[in-house]
Structure 1
Amino acid sequence: MCALSPLPRPLFIGHEIYRASTYGRWHPLRVPRVSTVIDLCRALGWLPPGVYVTSPRAKPAALTGWHTPDYIAALVRAEAEQVVSDTVRARHHLGTPSNPVFAEMFRRPATAAGGSLLAGELLAGGGVVFHPAGGTHHGMPDRASGFCYLNDPVLAIRSLRANGAARIAYIDIDAHHGDGVQRAYQDDPDTLVLSVHEAGLWPRTGMLNETGAGNVFNLPVPRHLNDDEMVMIRDALILPAISAFRPDAIVLQCGADAVADDPQSHLSLSNNAHWQIVAGLMGMAPRLLVLGGGGYNPWSAGRLWAGVWATLNGHTVPAVLPDAAQQVLRGLTFQGNKRGRNPDPAWFATLRDTPRGGALRDQVRKDVAQLAARL
């Protein structure tokens, strides 16, 4: 059998379902995110047809490797009927304020899951895939959790493994701990699970002393984490952990809610910090899959993820965006949040944030050193 060839260039997985669907008028995920990234990258000339892949929708049977058949059936039924019983709400956490009933409540997450399953297949021979609609890391086997109806990172890891990647490193830099992924792989010696997240933030898991079978590394960071601290975390913990683990594939959950302009966290990062993580991971394994995740300010999420795609391709980020890209950003609204009332003019004109450096706090140094000592 001939070895599969690596992808000749990075691929971008997207779908139009994210443009037209919404969790509801007041839900944090009411904001356009994936569609903004697609439109920005097209306006910048970074997304020719040859690199854009339309995500398939995963069929229910493809989701039961991690999720229970009863839960998937309940999710499909809830979309069809647009109502859930008290029993279903209590058992599966559907129809709650966090995980509401809405028109595409199965089709939308199943499309994200389909993209992550497809990514594992596309990366069978190696390469880079960006799937910004992925990253729903809170989904549990039998219930929705934290806006996540399905857990597409778990499905991505399963797909990568089915397509030849024996050892997989999962890195999560979302502001919230990836509790669902840790639950799935905390006792798997062939999966590294490393999460950097805000201490005390929901779901309030991912403590420093949680180690699983030995390949779980949790770094809860204090409020106002800055770019310089994140560079130190990258160089002293993330990159050495991957180097020591020697994975066949890396999955990065690149949640955009860790930046200073996001309303759901209290960190002080600029988007430069995320781009530097992406750049550092490139070339450390034959396969690299970058997922989205949290991100509840449409300007900061769209700009951050567009910069991720630029980083993966080596595109130069312009100091001032061309008019077509600025029009994409000027067309966004952020109703119901004070940050949207008077948006920073830089959110319209640039992709790159002003760097947000700062002091390296002793507690961050100490916690990083404690985890690094386990390598």
Structure 2
Amino acid sequence: MSPGPLFLGSEIYRGSSYGRWHPLRVPRVSTVMDLCRALGWLPPERFRTSPRAKPAALTAWHTPGYVAALQRAEETGTVDDATRDRHGLGTASNPVFPEMYRRPATGAGASLLAGELLAKGGVIHNPGGGTHHGMPDRASGFCYLNDAVLGILSLRRNGAARIAYIDIDAHHMDGVEHAFADDPDTLLISTHEERRWPFTGALEDAGVGQVFNLPLPRALNDTEFALARDRLILPAVARFAPDAIVLQCGADAVEEDPLSRLTLSNNAHWAVLRALLGMAPRVLVLGGGGYNPWSVGRLWAGNWAICSGQEIPDRLPAAAEAVLRAIPFEGNSRGRNPREGLFTELADPPRPGPVRAEVTDRVGRLAARIGAMPGARRVV
């Protein structure tokens, strides 16, 4: 039997920071845990402490030399020029900081464990996961390891032959695509902001035909994203008939995020999650990007509400509001002077709008490919 919905988290995220000026100086996973507990949504039987992945487990995809270099950088607190050049450690994006091995190894450990726990089905939320830019031999884009790839490999080892990976982060899933673009048993769908780092994921990039990249324009609204959901994401997943779904639910596509120029509400993300939950017997929900602490904490707490069958209140109770009001943040124009609703409500106001012709065209071009996908009988 399935163990029921589980939340995988850890106290390592509390107080851990990439550095004073780094976008990942903000509290994220700890905020989600605190919010969910304040709302009464996280009883002990639904929570598991994320294990720290052992180096040997990480080499299921990462090179032994890279894993050793990452451990060594944490132990010594420094990297030499050769390590920086080869492995991307000690850069502005992927700096040296005290938990630079233990923190990502904890996120990876949760995704690896999730594959085992989902062997008989179920739903797991790992908000510390979603590090989709990590490469086999190199850190990239704030991602030292690629827990999404490791989670997919763990799901496969534990009986999920066909896996659908859906990524709705504002940035393209370049590391995951690097791993699985030529794997016919992995469906990859990425919606991301066009002309945004890492500048990959063009509409035409299709791998062996199971890769759907949808670059989207600035000021993307909820109505346009619903079109992508209903004409691309859900039909492609239905056609593919996966044994497992992995949803990377980066929160950086919402209006308040400082690192994108998309303007979604968190309702857009939640609608995707709600629709996907019934489409495979195993579902793993990951975090990802998200650099406004209030918007990311609220979005991922809502993810857990949906995964665990909780009702999202119209107004937060005092204990949950206190969690949000206690967060310090010195941000840019999208972080300063937060609107009152970021403290008092979990759901954003809907952000509908007109559907631009370029969005309709791109979605239509990808939707036309769905019929050519090979279907499959699900193996549970």
* TM-score, normalized by the shorter chain, greater than 0.5: yes
The one-letter code of the counterpart of 1:249 is A
CA–CA separation in structure 2 for the residues paired with 1:257 and 1:93: 23
- For residues 72 and 243 of structure 2, the distance between their equivalents in structure 1, rounded to whole angstroms, comes to 38
What are the equivalent positions in structure 2 for 1:160-179 lying under 5 Å apart?
A: 160-179=155-174
Residue 24 of structure 2 aligns with which residue? 29
Q: Are the counterparts in 2 of residues 208 and 217 from structure 1 also a CA contact under 8 Å? A: yes
Q: Say yes or no: does 1:340 pair with 2:335.
A: yes
Which of the residues 2, 6, 28 maps onto 1:6? 2
Alpha-carbon contact 2:164-2:186 (below 8 Å) kept: yes
Superimposed CA distance per residue, residues 334-363 of structure 1 (whole angstroms, 9 cap, x where no aligned partner)? 114333331111111000000000001111
Identical aligned residues as a percent: 68
- Mapping of 1:200-239 within 5 angstroms? 200-239=195-234
Structure 2-normalised TM-score?
A: 0.97
Equivalent residue for 1:372?
367
Please give the per-residue CA displacement for 1:226-253, whole angstroms capped at 9, x wherever unaligned: 0011111111000000000010000000
Aligned to 1:264: 259
Q: Does structure 1 retain, via aligned residues, the 8 Å contact 2:277–2:283?
A: yes
Corresponding residue of 1:315: 310
Q: What displacement does 1:116 show?
A: 0.3
AA at the equivalent of 2:73: A
Residue 84 of structure 2 is aligned with which of 78, 89, 97? 89
Quote the Cα distance in structure 1 between the aligned partners of 2:94 and 2:2.
38
Candidates 98, 109, 114, aligned match of 1:114: 109
**1:316 Cα offset (Å):** 1.2
Q: Is the 8 A contact 1:168 1:250 kept in 2?
A: yes
Which residue, out of 130, 133, 138, partners 1:138?
133
Give the partner amino acid of 1:6. S
Instruction: Give the whole-Å Cα distance in 2 for the aligned partners of 1:368 and 1:336.
Output: 34
Indicate conservation of the 8 Å contact 1:333/1:340, yes or no.
no
Map Cα deviations across residues 179-217 of structure 1 (whole Å, 9 max, x no partner). 000000000000001000000100000000001011000
C-alpha deviations, 1:110-164, integer Å up to 9, x for none?
A: 0000000000001000010000000000000000000000000000000000000
- Any idea what the Cα deviations from partners look like across 1:271-328, whole Å, max 9, x if unmatched? 0000000001011001000000000000000000111111112211111110000000
Give the paired residue count: 370
SS in 2 for 1:256: coil
**Paired residue secondary structure (2:311):** coil
Residue 373 of structure 1: SS of its match in structure 2? helix
- Which of 249, 252, 267 is residue 254 of structure 1 equivalent to? 249
Alignment of 1:273-312 (within 5 A): 273-312=268-307
What residue identity is the alignment partner of 1:50? E
Give me the whole-angstrom Cα distance separating, in 1, the residues matched to 2:341 and 2:160.
41
Q: How far apart, CA to CA, are the structure 2 residues paired with 1:341 and 1:315?
A: 31
CA distance in 2 between partners of 1:342 and 1:189 (Å)? 47
Q: Which of 129, 150, 153 is the matching residue for 1:155?
A: 150
1:185 matched to 2:193? The reply is no
List alignment gaps of at least 5 residues for structure 2: 371-380
The code of the aligned residue for 2:50 comes to S
* Aligned-pair CA distance for 1:46: 0.3
Deviation at 1:333, TM superposition (A): 1.4
Q: Deviation per CA, 1:65-93, whole angstroms, max 9, x where unpaired?
A: 11001100000000000010000000001
Q: Paired residue for 2:374?
A: none
**1:178 offset after TM fit, Å?**
0.5
Partners of 2:367 and 2:195 in 1: CA distance = 22
Letter in 2 for 1:195: S
Q: Judge conservation of contact 2:170–2:252 (CA < 8 Å) in 1.
A: yes
Q: Secondary structure at the match of 1:374?
A: helix
SS of the counterpart of 1:338? coil
Q: 1:54 aligns with which of 49, 56, 61?
A: 49
- Choose from 96, 101, 106 the match for 1:101: 96
Query: Could you say what the CA RMSD is over the residues aligned between the two structures, in angstroms?
Result: 0.7
Contact 2:258 2:335 in 1 (8 A): no
Q: Give the SS at the match of 2:164.
A: strand
Contact 2:231 2:363 in 1 (8 A): yes
* CA displacement at 1:62 relative to structure 2: 0.5
Structure 1 residues without counterparts, runs of 5 or longer? none
Letter in 1 for 2:242: P
TM superposition shift of 1:172? 0.1
CA distance in 2, matches of 1:147, 1:76: 16
Query: Do the aligned residues in 2 keep the contact of 1:26 with 1:336 (CA within 8 Å)?
Result: no
Q: For 1:199 and 1:299, how far apart are their aligned partners in 2?
A: 25
Distance of 2:248 and 2:201 partners within structure 1: 15
Cα separation, 1, equivalents of 2:176 and 2:336: 36
